[in-house]
Amino acid sequence: MLAVAGLVAASVTIVQAQSYYLAGNFEGWCNNCTQMTSNGPVGIGGNLQYSYQITGQTPNSWDTGGMKVTDGSWANTWPGNNMYMWYNANSNATIYFYPATFTDGFTPTSHRVGFADPGLAWEVTGDFGPNWGSDPKAQMTLLGGSVGVYTNTYMVTNAGTYSFKFRTPGTWNNFQIGTDFSSDNNGNGSVTTTANNQKVLFTLDLPNGRWQATIPGLIPVTNQVVFSVDMTSQIQQGYFTPGSAVFVAGAFNGWPPASTGNGLVLTNYPPFGDGSNTNIYYGTNQFIGLPGSSATTYKFNDNDPNAQNSGWETSNDRTLTLLTINGPEVLNTVPFNNFYASDFLLQDTLVTFTVDMTNIAGGYVTGRDGHTFNPANDGVFVNGQFANYGGNPQSWEPWFGGVNPVASPYQLKEVGFGSVYTNTFTIPAGTPVAFLYKYGIDTNLNVDINAGQQNAQDDEAGTYSNHVRVIRSTAMNPYVLPTDNFGNMYSEPYFDNGSTSGGNLTMGSPAAGMVPVSWLGRPGAYLQFNTNVTGGSWQNLIATDGTNWTAGYSSTNGFVSVTNWPASGTAFFRLVRP
């Protein structure tokens, strides 16, 4: 093993030997033409190493056309983006590949691609100084007695988390190394300092395709990190079927898509934590890094054929922070996409829609297509995430001009001879509790109905501009939405993990010995009560859950739940969603 100050002993998972290929600009980007040579277990920690020497190129020149390692297909390639290369005075360059998973504290943590030292200068630049690039921070030097290992110790003025990259000095057009050894728009490295004026040791190991940023004097911690994700909401919506695979993908393993199967695979058996919920998928990976540092960003993905967004979570990247001591780190179980089962209707629910087709001047509205609503000939329809078009969850019906306009069941009826249109529909289970919808005008209603279709125009508002309403109580039959004004795309507040203020919990003035408590409820959320906000135990008021509660009044934000509490003593309330 190469002896370098500050390095952590390597631990690897060796992948069984197979054929790998080098593809790139130098040979016309053939994914299985240029086979790499297997050198056996000669890499760091006895890991398998493959190599290929490119020859016959222009001496002392850059190849920015790119290259990468493949398994003979384009489905699995490394590094994530293309790697550039410098051909030396002998017109060649040697590439190394290590198909393993590593726990040695270096980045990347799997499938490393390195190269023989081309003898160029290196620097570190990042946001720990005034400017990226224009103010080079750390000129690196070749470590004595090493081959292709460069280091620099740089003092960071203020404690914090900083992004950086290694590069050949003065330009981003040649080598730049961040999350992997690709040169084409790869992600930034990251380092966290814990005190002002703290030194960071940067180590760049070219032949072994790895780098590290450590705080000298701080001993890295080793954590066996347990990831777990609850797929219940995806199952409920029809986006995931148990038996499909679930993975963790992130900066630590190169963000592999689920289709490749290269992420950290998770299991649901035996049930997580000795429980009974087999919708929870979990798995363990070892991380080594500075105490309390951010080890990686990541997301969950799955390979179910019905998955949305190619199987990726649509929520923001998650961040893993290491413990301050060695040992296991069991992360909290999170719902996929940060959507809980209670974010979707658990049963079919009757909902009443109402829309006023007059404008503020008292006349009938004009759609964005320039047509003014005419109640004598026109019809009003509603369309949204509840339509389940083609049997696909949350799919809207096609608007006029779409493929195969349908005989829509979602036509609203005129109230008397006025401008208000309403109707009650069954909203299917699996629809989001806070759902999107729009109204549309069919300008030739009678002809279209006789033809067995509706040709409502998507003319209420522009693309991605929708009404957002919340079904706040599934105990009502039906649940009545507030009256909409055509063209006023109103969004109700919604209490969830992204908006804790959306519950609008308030307490009124005491009257007749009681204190009114009001909130914007929803299924899956309920009140808790305590007599001491800093201690004691919180009592669950399960009856106030939106699946049960019907006491309250209507508002522009939908149904407002209300309860009365005795005015004597001290009372604190909070709205929770377990």
Rg over alpha carbons for the chain, rounded to the nearest Å, is: 30
Q: What's the pLDDT tens digit per position in 234-274?
A: 998 889 999 999 999 988 888 899 999 989 999 999 999 98
Q: What is the pLDDT of residue 38?
A: 92
Could you tell me the CATH number of the domain that includes residue 399?
2.60.40.10
Per-residue b/e over 177-193, b at no fewer than 16 CB within 10 Å? Answer: bbbbbbbeebbebbbbb
Q: Please answer whether residues 469 and 349 qualify as being in contact, where contact means their C-beta atoms are separated by less than 8 angstroms.
A: no
Residue indicated by tokens 């404008």: 359
Residue 190: inside a domain, yes or no?
no
pTM across the whole model: 0.60
Indicate the DSSP class of residue 413.
Answer: E
Share of the chain above pLDDT 70, in %: 92
Please tell me the total count of domains within the chain.
4
Residue 196: inside a domain, yes or no?
no
Q: Please state, in angstroms and as integers, the Cα–Cα distance from residue 153 to each residue in 150, 188, 219, following that order.
A: 11, 19, 16
CA atoms of 20 and 51, how far apart (whole Å) = 9
Residue 208: inside a domain, yes or no?
no
Instruction: Report the C-alpha dihedral over residues 192, 198, 204, 209, rounded to 10 degrees.
Output: -20
List 321's β-bridge partners, or say none. 294
Q: Please answer whether residues 266 and 248 qualify as being in contact, where contact means their C-beta atoms are separated by less than 8 angstroms.
A: yes
Nearest to 164 by CA among 197, 143, 142, 193: 193
- Tokens linked to 322: 């290491």
Q: Is the domain of 354 the same as that of 480? A: yes
Q: Is the domain of 534 the same as that of 448? A: no
Q: What is the pLDDT of residue 453?
A: 67
Q: Please answer whether residues 372 and 378 qualify as being in contact, where contact means their C-beta atoms are separated by less than 8 angstroms.
A: no
Q: What is the pLDDT of residue 65?
A: 94
Looking at 87, 115, 143, the residue that finishes a domain is 115
List 41's β-bridge partners, or say none. 48
CA atoms of 467 and 353, how far apart (whole Å) = 11
Identity of the amino acid at 76? N
Cβ neighbours of residue 268 under 8 Å, at least 6 residues apart?
242, 246, 278, 279, 280, 281, 282
CA atoms of 495 and 476, how far apart (whole Å) = 19
Q: What is the pLDDT of residue 44?
A: 57
Q: What is the pLDDT of residue 170?
A: 84
CA atoms of 154 and 478, how far apart (whole Å) = 66
Q: Is the domain of 459 the same as that of 390? A: yes
Mean pLDDT of each 10-residue bin along the chain, 578 residues long? 27 53 96 93 74 96 96 93 95 95 87 95 85 73 89 90 90 91 88 88 94 86 95 89 95 88 94 94 92 89 94 92 93 92 91 95 91 91 90 82 66 88 94 95 73 78 93 96 97 87 92 94 95 88 95 97 91 90
Q: Is the domain of 327 the same as that of 305? A: yes
Instruction: For the sheet with 526-530, list strands across it.
Output: 539-541, 526-530, 572-576
Q: Which residues constitute the domain of residue 518?
A: 500-576
> For the chain, first and last CA: distance in Å?
50
Q: What is the pLDDT of residue 115?
A: 97
